[in-house]
Amino acid sequence: MGDYLVAAEPHRSLVLQVYDERYLDIEGIEEEIAREEILSASVAGVTSDPTELTTISTLIRDMRILLCKARGTISRGKLTPRIDWMPSRTNSKVTRLLVDDLRGSLPPLGLRDIKIGTVDNESQFSIPAEALDGRITVITGRKESGKSHLAKMLLRGLLAQRAYSIVFDLNDEYGAVGQRKDGSSTDASAMVRVMRPGRDMKFSLATIGLRSISNLLSHSLEMPGTSLREFVKIWEQLDNRDELTLATLESAIHQWRCNEFVRDALFARYHTLVSCGLFTDSEEKQFDLRDFFTLNPDGGALVVSLGGISPMNRRMVVELILSKVVELLEHRKVPPIFLFAEEAHLYLRETYWEDLITRMRHFGVFTVFVTNQPDAIDQKIYRQVDNIFLYNFSNDSDLALISQASTADADTVRAIVRTLPPRMCLLLGYAVRNLPVVVSVDPFDSPASGTTRRFFEETEQVAA
Ligand SMILES: Nc1ncnc2c1ncn2[C@@H]1O[C@H](COP(=O)(O)OP(=O)(O)OP(=O)(O)O)[C@@H](O)[C@H]1O
Ligand SMILES: [Mg+2]
């Protein structure tokens, strides 16, 4: 399913995509079946069939009808989206159209190929890195279908093209993206930097800046407006004197003239900032996002390991990084980046979603969302998504949601996705120019990871 056919007439041909298959049902076929069953089962002696009627009727009974959607017209070797005509039933010739040939009838989107798998059983399939550039991509499917696997292939592909990426890594599985299965390094290994917030990733107040901090205070720490205003004044005073540290902030709050409620609110947030362990006054320990770019002049991946971190700290780190990235991009201090966000609903506030796909994309943050819960992403957002990699979903409500949300017609998505075997995905959208393609994703030469811990396997290993 998902294969392409072409109904060719002398001057033009209609491109069709198979989305479902069923038995041919013609008037009277049931009666025919019933008659044959009775004949073969009960009437001894009727064995000769001189005109071989049974074979013909078996053939007819086994005939399948392929349900197709028209996808466009090829004329003079060029594909256009026209589907406003019907090929002749008698004079047109229906043949298989290989994805390679289909793509050959369109000018390429780019030259920086990222190989991801095969199509039509044997031919290699790549998407151009340009198809992710400036775009929003979603990878979704049920658990263990191969989503992270594909995300890692895209990430390695981007590294090979010397691009910059930031990964919000929930299961601590992206750190090894530069390595081969046997543990040896690829060219990309040195470009991958794994950081653990609170451990080797700590920020100084000064580099984070007022804007990020006040965003954090008002959104993540729900600081009321009045206290926030006082906080901003204290901050600015310290900043003007070039004395912005956690220590000076504490004493400034002590000495600040304000009412006790406000002071309490200021202290409460101050203590949260200190105790979360994300900030430091130490020059050597602090992390400046710009260093990531200057230390990796040929592209790189910053893997933010969110595994063992409290939900609160996750949100804070993600917000700090995003607002810093946007600030740097706004001032054109860093090149555009790709963002890989696994299960983003676990650490991304509601308001950030739209921000990511509109404002942040505009500045140069191009997100790849990876999730096994398609309903965690709002319908509004799906409509803005450029590329969707869809793995299998068997659950009806997930299917309904995803078929409505994607750019292709609901019939195709529903029928194809329901029957997709593991490691195969349906690619929709810009990268394939809205001609949905079923891709069998390649294995990836990287250490196995992201696997769920298993009780029995582990006890066996201990025993052995
Ligand atoms: N195309 C593939 N070829 C070979 N192995 C694959 C392929 N896709 C996935 N795998 C393997 O299958 C397992 C599950 O894949 P992966 O971790 O990518 O799934 P997932 O969809 O991210 O699952 P989860 O929802 O649990 O995060 C992994 O061990 C991965 O290495
Ligand atoms: Mg995964």
CA-CA distance, 244 to 280, in Å (whole number)?
Answer: 11
In a domain, 437, yes or no: yes
What's the pLDDT at 125? 92
CA distances from 155 to 129, 177, 241 (A): 10, 8, 43
How far away, in angstroms, is 148 Cα from ligand 2 center? Answer: 4
Residue 282 lies in a domain: no
- pLDDT at 403 (0 to 100): 79
User: Alpha-carbon distance 142 to 392, whole Å?
Assistant: 6
Tell whether ligand 1 has an atom less than 6 A from the beta carbon of residue 148. Answer: yes
| Residue of 148, 306, 442 to test ligand 1 pocket, by largest number of atoms within 8 Å of CB | 148
Q: What is the pLDDT of residue 211?
A: 84
Is residue 100 located within the same domain as residue 221? no
Which atom from ligand 1 is nearest to the alpha carbon of 141? 21
Same domain assignment for residues 413 and 301:
yes
Tell whether 78 and 132 lie within a shared domain: no
Expressed in percent and rounded to 5, the helix, strand and coil fractions of the chain are 40, 25, 35
Q: Are 70 and 167 in a shared domain?
A: no
Cβ-contact 73, 85 below 8 angstroms: yes
Strands 164-169 and 78-80: unpaired
Co-location of 327 and 220 in the same domain: no
> Which atom of ligand 1 lies closest to the CA of 370?
22
Residues 309 and 421 in one domain: yes
- Residues forming a β-bridge with 94: 7
Q: Please check whether residues 154 and 250 belong to one and the same domain.
A: no
With a 6 A CB cut-off, is 197 part of the ligand 1 pocket? Answer: no
Selection from 332, 383, 394 nearest residue 358 by Cα: 383
Q: What is the CATH number of the domain that holds 319?
A: 3.40.50.300
Task: Please check whether residue 461 lies inside any domain of the structure.
Answer: no
Transcribe 319-378 into DSSP letters. HHHHHHHHHHHHTT-S--EEEEEETGGGT--HHHHHHIIIIIHHHTEEEEEEES-GGGS-
Q: Would you state the pLDDT for residue 41?
A: 65
Residue 177: the pLDDT is 85
pLDDT at residue number 43: 58
What is the block-wise mean pLDDT of the chain (464 residues), using blocks of 10 residues?
90 91 77 73 60 70 86 89 88 89 83 91 90 93 91 94 95 87 83 91 88 83 87 92 90 88 89 90 87 93 92 88 89 94 86 80 93 85 89 85 76 86 91 91 78 68 68
224: domain range?
205-275
- Examine residue 195 and state whether it is found in any structural domain, yes or no: yes
Q: Is the pTM here over 0.75, yes or no?
A: yes
Ligand 1, atom 9: nearest CA belongs to which residue? 146
Q: Looking at the domain assignment, is residue 231 inside a domain?
A: yes
Contact between residue 140 and residue 388 where contact means Cβ atoms under 8 Å apart: yes
pLDDT at 90: 83
Residues 353 and 256 in one domain: no
CA of 34 to the centre of ligand 2 (A): 50
Domain end (from 104, 138, 154): 104
Question: In the chain, how many domains are there?
Answer: 3
- Cα–ligand 2 centroid distance for 189 (angstroms): 21
The finding on whether 64 has its CB within 6 A of some atom of ligand 1 is no
The dihedral of CA 183, 184, 187, 191: what is its sign?
Answer: positive
Alpha-carbon distance values, 398 to 2, 221, 401 (Å): 20, 33, 5
Q: Give the end of a domain, one of 104, 132, 147.
A: 104
Are residue 191 and residue 337 in the same domain, yes or no? yes
Domain co-membership, 418 together with 320: yes
Ligand 1 center–CA 128 separation, angstroms: 22
Give the atom of ligand 1 at the shortest distance from the alpha carbon of 117: 1
CA 449 to ligand 1 center in whole angstroms? 9
Q: Is 133 in the pocket of ligand 1 (CB under 6 A)?
A: no
Q: Which residue has the tokens 């140069």?
A: 364
Pocket mutation for ligand 1, best pick of 119, 139, 149 (most atoms within 8 Å of C-beta)? 149
Q: Is the CB of 453 under 6 A from ligand 1?
A: no
Which ligand has an atom closest to residue 452 CA? 1
pLDDT at 457: 72
Residue 323 falls within a domain, yes or no?
yes
Q: CA angle at residue 316 from 311 to 317, to 5 degrees?
A: 100
**Does any domain span residue 19?**
yes
Q: How many Å lie between the centroid of ligand 1 and the Cα of residue 150? A: 8
Q: Is residue 290 included in any domain, yes or no?
A: no
- Residue with the smallest CA separation from ligand 1 atom 2 is 443
Atom of ligand 1 nearest to the CA of 150: 18
Please tell me whether residues 94 and 124 are part of one structural domain. no
User: For residue 111, which amino acid is it?
Assistant: L
Write the residue with the smallest CA distance to atom 31 of ligand 1: 448
CA 144 to ligand 1: nearest atom: 23
Cβ of 198 closer than 6 Å to ligand 1, yes or no, is no
**119, 144, 340, 424, best to mutate for ligand 1 pocket (most atoms within 8 Å of CB):** 144
Which ligand 1 atom is at minimum distance from the Cα of 422?
A: 8
pLDDT for the residue 46: 55
Cα(111) to ligand 1 centroid in Å equals 27
Report residue 41 as tokens: 């089962």
Same domain, 100 and 118: no
Identify the domain boundary among 104, 131, 156: 104
